[in-house]
Amino acid sequence: MSLDMSISWRSKQPKQKRCDRCELYYSEFLDKCTHCSDLNEAQLLMLKAKHQESLKHNAKLGKYLFIAAAVIGVLLFVSFLW
């Protein structure tokens, strides 16, 4: 992706701001956070825990994909040597 395309694409994305309460992002055009504005404190803690668990799973998936890419890269390198 060229720099011009990146700037053009980014300018079309809705502006986001981070919620002070739940630390998730929501549209800056909204007055309140769509994630936590209707939640009590117990529900907010559950939302944060669920989000942290999701981040852990995403990180684990990223590690697996990196390992798979490295294995494929090594196999391709070895195949070119033969």
pLDDT digits 0-9 by tens, 37-82: 999 999 999 999 999 999 999 999 999 999 999 999 999 999 988 7
Backbone angles phi, psi at 12, to 5 degrees: -85, -10
Burial state string for 36-59 with b = 16 or more CB within 10 A and e = fewer than 16: beeeeeeeeeebbeeeeeeeeeee
Distance CA 25, CA 71 (A): 35
Backbone angles phi, psi at 63, to 5 degrees: -65, -45
Output the pTM of the full model: 0.63
At 41 the pLDDT is 94
Residue 31 CA to its chain's centroid (Å): 23
Distance CA 52, CA 47 (A): 9
At 21 the pLDDT is 92
